Structure 1
Amino acid sequence: MTSSDDQKVLLAKIGAAHGIRGEVRVKPFGDDPLSFTDYGVLTTRDGKRIFDVERARVQKTVVVTKFKGITDRNQAEELNGLELYISRDQLPEPDEDEFYYSDLNGLDVLDQNGETLGKIVAVQDFGAGDLLEIRPKRGRTFYIPFTKEFVPAISLENGQVKVALPEDYFSEGKPEPSETSPDK
């Protein structure tokens, strides 16, 4: 387990260059698209590259961002795909009943009967809402929708997440004919 001092939290990802003056499109992670600009210097995961935001503006689904020292399109294009992090200790402490997604990694996932289903390895968003990625003791990872209905209880203190899954959640059978064809 790493100490909170060296834990990194992913805030944003740099995308394509925007224009010719060194601006880039940034995809922020979080409720406020400009929040990644509030923490001062951003780094790559390994800490070897640092970025200081000069200015940023929201444009549709991205934030057009100018970093200090990036002055032309060629430099901007070299940044495409870089992820931007801060140290976990730079974030404010969450309120009660709030948490950071990174705090969920490694928590045990228990079903309604108290059986361990596995551990959370990531929180993913493929466009249709957040999903918890769970790694069981054996087999491939699987996903559970990260909603109050499916995840009614989270206890960071106990290192556990309780999930409520429908009985047929893990069935991979085909739908019954009545579910796929209209009544005649």
Structure 2
Amino acid sequence: MADENRVILGQFGAAHGIRGEVKLNAYTEDPLGVADYGPVTLDDGRVVEIVAVRMQGDGIVARVGGIGDRTGAETLRNRRFSVDRSVLPPIEEEDDFYYADLVGLRAERADGSPFGTIVAVQNFGAGDLIEILPAPGARSFYLPFTRAVVPLVDIAEGRLVVEPPPEIEAREDDGAAAGEDEA
């Protein structure tokens, strides 16, 4: 899904029950609104439609058209899904953006010095993370995508400002660049 015209809306999880429902992690502002955008394209190329969503405890459970049993629901497990950017509402506020817009931005410190490039935005269940590649050939690493760590996102200028947590700063001060292995 490297197509810049596509925006990832979420990811399916495990099957839920025996009637084809599946757990879902929505990346939309309103998690229950994830079904409002029409058919979605899975990262394996299949096109499906989320026909219903509901809250189940702290999570979301979805019903997908054409999926009527647990076996079918299992084929969706861990599949990310996206839509064409054109079906999403236009961004009207200067400070608003889609996470897909962050990929490729320069990460800089407040003084303008380079920190790396954003290669992905992830959420493994404990909050949003930005994945940063400090330099070509180096190992990427994650930082929390919070206002404290990322106080400024400037899509128009192609950059965001990063204020790394103290443990990342300490590691760099010890001579190990963020993301490198220590011997």
Calculate the TM-score normalised by the size of structure 1.
Answer: 0.79
Task: Name 1:35's counterpart in structure 2.
Answer: 33
Task: Name 2:68's counterpart in structure 1.
Answer: 71
| Displacement after TM superposition at 1:168 (Å) | 6.3
| Alpha-carbon RMSD | 2.3
* Range 123-132 or range 103-112, more displaced: 123-132
Task: Name 2:171's counterpart in structure 1.
Answer: 172
Gaps of 5+ in 2: 173-183
Partner Cα separation in structure 2 for residue 133 and residue 70 of structure 1: 34
The superposition leaves residues 11-56 of structure 1 with CA deviations (integer Å, 9 ceiling, x where unpaired) of 122222222222222222233221210101111135x311112222
Task: Name 2:48's counterpart in structure 1.
Answer: 51
Structure 2 CA distance for partners of 1:126 and 1:67, relative to 1, 3 Å: closer
* Range 59-68 or range 34-43, more displaced: 59-68
Structure 2 CA distance for partners of 1:124 and 1:70, relative to 1, 3 Å: closer
The answer as to whether partners of 1:133 and 1:141 remain within 8 angstroms in 2 is yes
Gaps of 5+ in 1: 174-184
The answer as to whether partners of 2:15 and 2:23 remain within 8 angstroms in 1 is yes
Partner Cα separation in structure 2 for residue 30 and residue 152 of structure 1: 21
Partner Cα separation in structure 2 for residue 26 and residue 3 of structure 1: 22
Q: Which of 17, 40, 44 does residue 19 from structure 1 map onto?
A: 17
Larger Rg: 1
Q: Which of 89, 100, 125 does residue 92 from structure 1 map onto?
A: 89
Instruction: Give the letter for the 1:171 counterpart.
Output: A
DSSP-derived class of the 1:171 partner: helix
The answer as to whether partners of 1:119 and 1:135 remain within 8 angstroms in 2 is yes
| Displacement after TM superposition at 1:3 (Å) | 7.0
The answer as to whether partners of 1:27 and 1:61 remain within 8 angstroms in 2 is no
Partner Cα separation in structure 2 for residue 163 and residue 76 of structure 1: 39
| Displacement after TM superposition at 1:98 (Å) | 0.8
Partner Cα separation in structure 2 for residue 150 and residue 27 of structure 1: 24
Instruction: Give the letter for the 1:43 counterpart.
Output: T
Calculate the TM-score normalised by the size of structure 2.
Answer: 0.80
* Range 98-107 or range 25-34, more displaced: 25-34
Partner Cα separation in structure 2 for residue 41 and residue 150 of structure 1: 35
| Displacement after TM superposition at 1:64 (Å) | 1.8
Structure 2 CA distance for partners of 1:74 and 1:135, relative to 1, 3 Å: same
